[in-house]
């Protein structure tokens, strides 16, 4: 009986480990820090990145002139 209980506990621990590895916890989105305390503005609108965070569509959110930044369709726009 003790061996059966031990086997059940080990099996449940193994299943939990596999499920934990498969289902990753969501990553917290880091805020965009602009110099001088300026608010983040996205004149071209927002889009979702692979990790589910809102990012600006191909523009530098901290660019004081508001000029577009050239980047590829899958490239994350950096400050």
Quick: pLDDT tens for 35-64.
666 666 666 666 777 767 777 666 454 554
Q: What are the structure tokens assigned to 39, written together?
A: 């608010």
Distance CA 76, CA 56 (A): 8
Between β-strands 54-56 and 46-48, what pairing exists: parallel, antiparallel or unpaired?
Answer: antiparallel
User: What pLDDT score was predicted for residue 39?
Assistant: 63
Q: Does domain 1-58 match CATH 1.10.10? A: no
Say what percent of the chain tops pLDDT 70. 24
| pTM over the 0.75 mark | no
Mean pLDDT, rounded, of the chain: 62
């Amino acid at each position: 009986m003790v061996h059966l209980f031990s086997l059940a506990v080990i099996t449940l621990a193994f299943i939990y480990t596999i499920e934990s590895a498969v289902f990753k916890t969501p990553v917290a989105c880091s805020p965009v820090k602009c110099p001088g305390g300026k608010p983040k503005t996205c004149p071209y609108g927002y889009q979702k990145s692979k990790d589910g965070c809102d990012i600006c569509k191909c523009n530098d959110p901290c660019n004081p002139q508001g000029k577009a930044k050239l980047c590829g369709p899958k490239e994350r726009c950096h400050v």
